[in-house]
Amino acid sequence: MRVMVIVNATKATEAGVMPTTDELAAMGKYNEELVKAGIMLAGDGLHPTKRAARIQFNGDKRVVVDGPFAESKELIAGFWIWQVKSLEEAIEWGKRCPNPTGAMGQLELRPLFEASDFGAEYTPELRANEDKLRKQIESRES
């Protein structure tokens, strides 16, 4: 199963406070462990929301809202995508994580949908198209 591990933002990350050398080294070591274990598929930190935008949908209307956004506890400072056997395995890896923000914070672990989760509505034609797109993405990464 694939899991998105969300690093929640803090007031400091939203203010653009950068991690210390020691924090960067600890996270680099942790990322190395994830890669060696074959778990980490992707991961990155995100700039503060003052550099962000949101697109809000209401029927066929679109409204763009520029950052910053007010509620830092509901924002994301970074993420990983992990390939694990179970949510329990992801939790065990998450518990080993160095504190990603150096302050009071949290990780949120959310399973990604797999094709089988969509049932009969996800037709063979839709699956074939999705596979084609994934192969195109993978060929660009090589």
24 and 78 co-located in one domain:
yes
Tell me the residue range of the domain where 136 lies. 116-142
Residue 16 pLDDT: 92
87 and 142 co-located in one domain:
no
Average pLDDT over residues 50-58: 95
Please determine, for residue 46, whether its predicted confidence score (pLDDT) is greater than 80: yes
Residue 11: which H helix or E strand, with range? helix 11-14
Residue 104 pLDDT: 82
Angle at 46 between CA 81 and CA 16, to 5 degrees: 150
Residue 73 pLDDT: 65
67 and 133 co-located in one domain:
no
62 and 129 co-located in one domain:
no
Please determine, for residue 103, whether its predicted confidence score (pLDDT) is greater than 80: no
* SS percent in the chain: helix, strand, coil, step 5: 40, 25, 30
Residue 65 pLDDT: 94
Contacts (Cβ under 8 Å, ≥6 apart) of 12: 101, 102, 103
Beta bridge partners of 54: 65
- 29-33, 51-55, 72-76, 121-125: segment of lowest average pLDDT: 72-76
Average pLDDT over residues 43-61: 95
123 and 88 co-located in one domain:
no
State how many domains the chain has: 2
| DSSP secondary structure letter of residue 97 | S
Q: What percent of the chain has pLDDT over 70?
A: 97
13 and 27 co-located in one domain:
yes
23 and 72 co-located in one domain:
yes
pTM comes to 0.86
Residue 126 pLDDT: 93
Task: Give the separation between CA 127 and CA 77, rounded to whole angstroms.
Answer: 32
Please determine, for residue 72, whether its predicted confidence score (pLDDT) is greater than 90: no
